[in-house]
A and B are shown apart, each in its own frame.
Chain A
Amino acid sequence: MSGRFPILSLALRSISNRAGTALLTILTVAISVTLFLGVEKVRHGARASFENTISGVDLIVGARSSPINLLLYSVFHIGDATNNITWDSYEAVAGAPGVAWAVPVSLGDSHRGYRVVGTTPAYFEHYQYGDERPVRFAQGGPFDDLFGAVAGAEVARELGYAVGDEIVVGHGMGSVSFVEHDSNPFTIAGVLQPTGTPLDRSVFVGLEAIEAIHLGGSTGTGTSLTAEQLRARDLSPEQITAFYVGLTSPVAALRLQRQVNTYPEEPLQAVLPGVALVQLWSVVGAAERTLSAVAAFVVLVGLVSILTAILTSLNERRREMAILRALGARPHQIFVLLVAESALLALAGAVIGTGLTYGGLAIGAPLIEARFGLLLPGLVPGLYDLAIIALVTGAAAVLGLIPAWRAYRNSLADGMTVRL
């Protein structure tokens, strides 16, 4: 009967006697743990989403620059290509043995700040993201007319577009284009579902349409020809920005990559999207690690608040320690009492914090997926969360050694009587 049990139950009773302070302390820990776990969840979600921005594509081919640069403009639509590549090169690679399909993309135009991607309807068949999820249409379908367009989810939401609306495409980037090809408006043929990828912020039109609106010159003062006149013209593209390649067997990727990189007619470059994405993440991932470190420090602040609360209470509790000593409690039991209090407060805080995180995720995750297409991983607590709870509790027990040591020293000096 003189084991740990009375000490642990005394620790609980003693905490509940100081319920106000204890609740505030627990709340501090709970909030800090919620923040930490929330940051971790979003971090992993963002990373997984980022590294799966594009899947199902075996090679991306563009003008020779750096792999990350090619990835940035061809997939993320960030920055511009150093050079275009010729349609002949595209056809040469597309016809190479082992190539199952190739989808061209032509960039350079915009619509009210969103990138316009010139491509073919096959784009929507072959582009995959996440865990090989295909692109789906929320409304309508791929464009089948020269002046048909497909809007990404965010474009449609922000600008309020639906199938049948007419839009005007401008040259260059920026929300106000200086040159608008307004004599040839496009009609929305389809709207995509959210994907959490750059697709959401893009407008897709046919390659021929890109050619058509640039007939007046490559810098584009626009053309005054009517749609009927344009349809009669030969709108075969001469140049494109890049193209995606799918292979019959992924094993051939490295061989084809080498062939493309040494293509004699034009300086081309092929990248494996998965490899390039991981390289790119190692650059932008620094911010993510910083966020994690900040969240970890917030947890530390939460733990220090436990230390503060217990140290503050220590003086007024010397009488309590003296009574326990008089009843035969050993100094090490006083020590255990304070370590237990610290650990119990942290345990309660960590468990509540984990509950808050997953409660918030249960409510928020479907909304986040619906709106941003961002899939958050693991909606039920896992081993990782248990490890965090254990770690926080353990750390609090270690910090609890400080007040425990002071109380231990006090109880040795005070004995049964407190001389203040």
Chain B
Amino acid sequence: MTNDTTALELCGVRFAYRRGAPDVIDIAGFTLARGERVFLKGASGSGKSTLLGLIAGVLQPDSGSLHVLGTPLSDLSAPDRDRFRAAHLGVVFQMFNLLPYLPVGANVTLPCRFSAARATAAQDAGGVESEARRLLSRLGLDTADVWDRRAAELSVGQQQRVAAARALIGGPGLILADEPTSALDADSRDSFIALLKDECQASNAALLFVSHDGGLAGHFDRALDLSELNTARVGTAGAPQGAHA
């Protein structure tokens, strides 16, 4: 079933936060090809964050199989999933993506410090630092200006581009973007999506772009709606409240 041409493959995946609690995720099948850029529309409360947690390997499905880049994530141990995530996934959040106390350069190269595979890949592409500088300038940032500045000093739009550069460094096979543009205004949103798409294409990374804003769907190869994909009846936001009080 799985072959090297899929970036992501979910089959009969079910997940509940507690044993006996109603399922938050119940997805019969969902596939993403390598290098494909897909828009997933998900309103808040549709299980979006939970789905991303499963794909990233932070959460473990109760049943079904989940393959990322041909690796059966659902069969790996927690440390192996962490290692796999460090090596093969790039993640961009809605906002506050960066460690505020590190300079921009250190933020971008951080994945290479958590994963030897990413470091090697960046090294092969011309060196960790030059690769980081290249990605930053490709994403429209003035590298000389921002490199040594603390991440917290940048505008939100600039921070999202730094986050994208960090997700892309070391050539991960799959980029997860969780509402990365919802803090941006319309102009910078469109240019951010265009740059992200281009860079994913350049590094042959698949992109799963999740947003509640269906109007963005036109930018992508394919668009799906999580509420159709996920047949679990989810009332409220995914995680049980109070689990992290």
B59 part of interface (Cβ distance < 8 Å): yes
Stretch at the interface among B2-10, B19-27, B114-122, B135-143: B114-122
Partner of A17, one of B101, B113, B238, B243: B101
Query: What are the residues of chain A within 8 A of B113 when measuring CB–CB?
Result: 1-2, 5-6
A328→B87 contact, CB < 8 A:
yes
A415 part of interface (Cβ distance < 8 Å): yes
B76 part of interface (Cβ distance < 8 Å): no
A417→B244 contact, CB < 8 A:
no
Query: What are the residues of chain A within 8 A of B101 when measuring CB–CB?
Result: 13-14, 16-17
Query: What are the residues of chain A within 8 A of B53 when measuring CB–CB?
Result: 415-417
Q: Interface residue tally of chain B, by bracket? A: 35 or more
A414→B244 contact, CB < 8 A:
yes
CB of A111, distance to nearest CB on chain B (Å): 69
B208 part of interface (Cβ distance < 8 Å): no
Please indicate which of the listed interface residues A319, A326, A330, A414 has the most CB atoms of chain B within 10 Å of its own CB: A326
Query: What are the residues of chain A within 8 A of B93 when measuring CB–CB?
Result: 322-323, 326, 416-417
CB of A379, distance to nearest CB on chain B (Å): 40
Partner of A415, one of B58, B86, B115: B58
Stretch at the interface among B34-42, B77-85, B192-200, B225-233: B77-85
Residue on A nearest B166 in the bound complex, by CB? A327
Residue on B nearest A318 in the bound complex, by CB? B244
**How many Å lie between the Cα of A17 and that of B78 in the bound state?**
31
Partner of A2, one of B59, B116, B178: B116
Query: What are the residues of chain A within 8 A of B82 when measuring CB–CB?
Result: 325, 328-331
Q: Encode contact with B along A321-341: 1 for CB under 8 Å, 0 otherwise.
A: 011111111110000000000
**How many Å lie between the Cα of A345 and that of B219 in the bound state?**
49
B110 part of interface (Cβ distance < 8 Å): yes
B52→A416 contact, CB < 8 A:
yes
CB of A26, distance to nearest CB on chain B (Å): 17
B79→A330 contact, CB < 8 A:
yes
CB-CB under 8 A for A327 and B178, given A17-B100, A319-B96, A415-B59 = no
**How many Å lie between the Cα of A352 and that of B209 in the bound state?**
51
For residues 324 through 370 of chain A, which have their beta carbon under 8 Å from a beta carbon of chain B?
A: 324-331
**How many Å lie between the Cα of A2 and that of B79 in the bound state?**
12
Residue on A nearest B56 in the bound complex, by CB? A416
**How many Å lie between the Cα of A413 and that of B17 in the bound state?**
10
Query: What are the residues of chain A within 8 A of B243 when measuring CB–CB?
Result: 413
B217 part of interface (Cβ distance < 8 Å): no
A329→B114 contact, CB < 8 A:
yes
Please indicate which of the listed interface residues A324, A325, A417 has the most CB atoms of chain B within 10 Å of its own CB: A417
Q: Encode contact with B along A275-317: 1 for CB under 8 Å, 0 otherwise.
A: 0000000000000000000000000000000000000000000
**How many Å lie between the Cα of A414 and that of B178 in the bound state?**
15
A326→B91 contact, CB < 8 A:
yes
**How many Å lie between the Cα of A1 and that of B116 in the bound state?**
6
**How many Å lie between the Cα of A270 and that of B239 in the bound state?**
84
Residue on A nearest B152 in the bound complex, by CB? A17
Query: What are the residues of chain A within 8 A of B86 when measuring CB–CB?
Result: 2, 327-329
B237 part of interface (Cβ distance < 8 Å): yes
A327→B56 contact, CB < 8 A:
no
Q: Encode contact with B along A9-28: 1 for CB under 8 Å, 0 otherwise.
A: 01001101100000000000
Partner of B49, one of A318, A323, A410, A417: A417
**How many Å lie between the Cα of A326 and that of B114 in the bound state?**
11
CB of A405, distance to nearest CB on chain B (Å): 13
For residues 186 through 217 of chain A, which have their beta carbon under 8 Å from a beta carbon of chain B?
A: none
For residues 42 through 95 of chain B, which have their beta carbon under 8 Å from a beta carbon of chain A?
A: 49, 52-53, 56, 58-59, 78-79, 82-83, 85-87, 89, 91, 93
A166 part of interface (Cβ distance < 8 Å): no
Query: What are the residues of chain A within 8 A of B102 when measuring CB–CB?
Result: 13
B180 part of interface (Cβ distance < 8 Å): no
B58→A327 contact, CB < 8 A:
no
**How many Å lie between the Cα of A326 and that of B167 in the bound state?**
10
B207 part of interface (Cβ distance < 8 Å): no
Query: What are the residues of chain A within 8 A of B244 when measuring CB–CB?
Result: 318, 409-410, 413-414, 419
B91→A1 contact, CB < 8 A:
no
A419→B116 contact, CB < 8 A:
no
A320 part of interface (Cβ distance < 8 Å): yes
**How many Å lie between the Cα of A323 and that of B56 in the bound state?**
12
B174 part of interface (Cβ distance < 8 Å): no
B211 part of interface (Cβ distance < 8 Å): no
CB of A31, distance to nearest CB on chain B (Å): 26
Query: What are the residues of chain A within 8 A of B97 when measuring CB–CB?
Result: 323
**How many Å lie between the Cα of A116 and that of B224 in the bound state?**
104
B58→A2 contact, CB < 8 A:
no
The residues of A with any CB-CB pair to B shorter than 8 Å are 1-2, 5-6, 10, 13-14, 16-17, 318-320, 322-331, 409-410, 413-417, 419
- Can you pick out 9 interface pairs between chain A and chain B where the beta carbons lie within 8 Å of each other? A16-B101, A325-B58, A327-B110, A328-B114, A330-B79, A331-B78, A410-B244, A413-B243, A416-B53
Q: 6 closest A-B pairs (Cβ-Cβ)? A: A328-B86, A17-B101, A415-B58, A413-B244, A6-B113, A326-B91
New contact pairs (15) apart from A1-B116, A16-B101, A319-B96, CB-CB < 8 Å: A1-B112, A6-B110, A17-B101, A323-B93, A323-B96, A323-B98, A326-B93, A327-B110, A409-B244, A413-B243, A414-B244, A415-B49, A416-B91, A417-B49, A417-B93
The residues of B with any CB-CB pair to A shorter than 8 Å are 49, 52-53, 56, 58-59, 78-79, 82-83, 85-87, 89, 91, 93, 96-102, 110-116, 119, 178, 237-239, 243-244
